[in-house]
Amino acid sequence: MLGGAVGSLVAAPAVVTAALAPGAPPPVPRGAAGRPMPKMEKELPEPVGRKVGWAVVGLGQFALNQIIPSFAAAKRSKLVALVSGSRDKAESVAERYGVARTHLYDYAAFDAIRDNPDIDVVYVILPNALHPEFSIRASRAGKHVMCEKPMANSPAECEAMIAAAKGAGRKLMIGYRAHFEPHNVKAIALRKSGELGRVRLVTSDHHRHIDQSVPADQWRLVKALAGGGSLVDIGIYSLNAARYMTGEEPVAVAAQVSTPADDPRFREVEDLVSFQLRFPSGAEAHLSSSYTAQNIKRIQALGTKASAVLDPATEYEGNRLALVTETGREKVKVEEASQFAAEMDHLSECVRNGAEPMTPGEEGLRDVRLIGAIYAAAEARRWLDLNPDGSLAG
Ligand code: NAD
């Protein structure tokens, strides 16, 4: 009975009797049949076999909640290996994301990635102090590197990372995701196209509560692992935004640090940092970060023709951009897309075509130098001049 019903569905193909007029579309088949490729609204991903293979080092909060799930949206990048100190965790993640057991490494055996041709890029998502060691080991194993921000805890370590990548002839990119976040990308485009006029002032604030009971926050309160407090962790977004929203490099810095003496969280690292930058054009930036104020992630670029307001500016999703002009304030429509997939695909593309990444090691080094200058200015309690490379002058 069933067979007969199915048979009747497939047994009656459309029969075309009349000859087709030249240029006429082919007839629509009456039964199920292959049809031409539809017009694509989204770019097709690369064939899986041609995607660039990535290993993720460190299976913590950011890796597991943001980066690893974002491979699903990546067009040129695929997850092929995991590096973790916990075999159980690595196996559980590998099972869910289709990573082969042969492609799991621990920190001691990490250098064996050299012999795995499936791995092209290593993404370092460890506590800040471990970025140099694992980036350098990855470069020496012949792999390209994506390293999380802040690049390292000192300029000398950043320089060693850059030298290792250059020595191996491999790419080194720092995970400045805001450069790939659609609202920030649009705001930068508005600045570059002249729609903002001359940017006179950038203000940016990044604040959140730090919670000692959360494992991801524990190492952030240990200076030897984090390198500093709110400034290196989230103030770096304010700092980096001041540079990309002016398109200039600062020439002088002033800063103030305030840390509650009675709060046991802040025995080693600072809480609130307010800092100011001056740029060659006369533009200024007024910036801040803290681990005690409520969640704020905001960037404003005040220009002579228009001001761009990103609020929130650097959330993982749900950011917003408004433009303030003579005639009022208007929301700028921006299509959402995964900033994480975009940044990974950018490096994968650079690996394929040999181009330099938009946020190379030198970008990370510059911010690490500036962070040192910000702490020095707070200590000195006065404006300090900067060299063109972001280091302190004199
Ligand atoms: P996390 O503590 O959740 O993850 C760190 C991982 O490193 C864990 O898997 C942990 O097991 C491992 N690890 C290895 N040695 C360790 C040690 N000695 N102490 C602590 N952990 C150790 O932290 P996270 O929030 O995922 O941050 C990791 C990195 O990612 C940091 O550099 C951070 O700045 C960066 N990050 C970037 C963003 C972003 O938006 N770009 C967001 C969050 C974190």
Chain segment 106-130, per-residue pLDDT in tens: 999 999 999 999 999 999 999 999 9
Q: Give the nearest ligand 1 atom to 217 CA.
A: 2
Distances (CA, A) of 358 to 2, 130, 362: 60, 23, 10
Pocket test for ligand 1, best of 67, 107, 125 (most atoms within 8 A of CB): 125
Query: Can you tell me the distance from the alpha carbon of 93 to that of 79, in angstroms, rounded to the nearest whole number?
Result: 11
Of 319, 318, 286, 316, residue with least CA distance to 301: 286
Is the pLDDT at 1 greater than 80? The verdict is no
Q: Give the nearest ligand 1 atom to 59 CA.
A: 9
Query: Can you tell me the distance from the alpha carbon of 13 to that of 130, in angstroms, rounded to the nearest whole number?
Result: 65
Could you tell me the pTM of the whole model?
Answer: 0.93
- Quick one: pLDDT band at residue 18, thresholds 50, 70, 90? low
How far is ligand 1, taken at its centre, from the CA of residue 116, in Å? 24
Query: Can you tell me the distance from the alpha carbon of 137 to that of 339, in angstroms, rounded to the nearest whole number?
Result: 27
CATH code of the region 181-335+361-385: 3.30.360.10
- Quick one: pLDDT band at residue 14, thresholds 50, 70, 90? very low
**Percentage of residues in the chain with pLDDT exceeding 70?**
95
Query: Can you tell me the distance from the alpha carbon of 382 to that of 394, in angstroms, rounded to the nearest whole number?
Result: 14
How far is ligand 1, taken at its centre, from the CA of residue 225, in Å? 10
> Which residue's alpha carbon is at the smallest distance from atom 30 of ligand 1?
125
Q: Which amino acid makes up residue 192?
A: K
Q: Is 149 a catalytic residue?
A: yes
- Quick one: pLDDT band at residue 42, thresholds 50, 70, 90? confident
Contacts of 48 (CB under 8 A, 6+ apart): 78
| Least confident stretch, 17-21, 51-55, 163-167, 383-387 | 17-21
> Which residue's alpha carbon is at the smallest distance from atom 10 of ligand 1?
60
Q: Give the nearest ligand 1 atom to 314 CA.
A: 40
Of 58, 322, 85, residue with least CA distance to 183: 322
Q: Which of 105, 123, 176, 237 is catalytic?
A: 237
> Which conformational region is residue 174 in: left (phi greater than 0), alpha (psi within -120 to 50 degrees), or beta?
beta
Q: Give the nearest ligand 1 atom to 128 CA.
A: 32
How far is ligand 1, taken at its centre, from the CA of residue 132, in Å? 14
Q: Give the nearest ligand 1 atom to 107 CA.
A: 14
Q: For the chain, what are the domain ranges?
A: 48-177, 181-335+361-385
Is the pLDDT at 12 greater than 50? The verdict is no
Q: According to the model, what pLDDT value does residue 15 have?
A: 46
Task: Show the CA angle centred on residue 159, arms to residues 154 and 162, nearest 5°.
Answer: 130
How far is ligand 1, taken at its centre, from the CA of residue 285, in Å? 29
Which residues form the pocket of ligand 1, taking CB atoms under 6 Å from any ligand atom? 58-63, 85, 125-128, 130, 148-149, 175, 177, 215-216, 219, 225, 233
Q: According to the model, what pLDDT value does residue 6 have?
A: 38
Of 352, 344, 347, residue with least CA distance to 70: 344
How far is ligand 1, taken at its centre, from the CA of residue 36, in Å? 47
Distances (CA, A) of 365 to 53, 115, 153: 26, 30, 10
How far is ligand 1, taken at its centre, from the CA of residue 12, in Å? 61
> Which residue's alpha carbon is at the smallest distance from atom 31 of ligand 1?
127
Which CATH architecture does the domain made up of 48-177 adopt?
Answer: 3-Layer(aba) Sandwich (3.40)
Q: According to the model, what pLDDT value does residue 13 have?
A: 45
DSSP string, 255-309: EEEE--TT-GGGSSS--EEEEEEE-TTS-EEEEEEESSS--EEEEEEEESS-EEE
Contacts of 293 (CB under 8 A, 6+ apart): 207, 208, 209, 272
Q: Is 237 a catalytic residue?
A: yes
DSSP string, 123-187: EE-S-GGGHHHHHHHHHHTT-EEEEPSS--SSHHHHHHHHHHHHHHT--EEE--GGGGSHHHHHH
Pocket test for ligand 1, best of 57, 59, 61 (most atoms within 8 A of CB): 61
> Which residue's alpha carbon is at the smallest distance from atom 38 of ligand 1?
62
Q: Give the nearest ligand 1 atom to 89 CA.
A: 9
- Residue 195 is classified by DSSP as T
pLDDT digits (tens, 9 = 90+) for 306-356: 999 999 999 999 999 999 999 999 999 999 999 999 999 999 999 999 999
Average pLDDT on 287-304 reads 98
Q: Which amino acid makes up residue 29?
A: P
> Which residue's alpha carbon is at the smallest distance from atom 17 of ligand 1?
127
**Do the beta carbons of residue 55 and residue 113 sit within 8 Å?**
yes
pLDDT digits (tens, 9 = 90+) for 225-280: 999 999 999 999 999 999 999 999 999 999 999 999 999 999 999 999 999 999 99
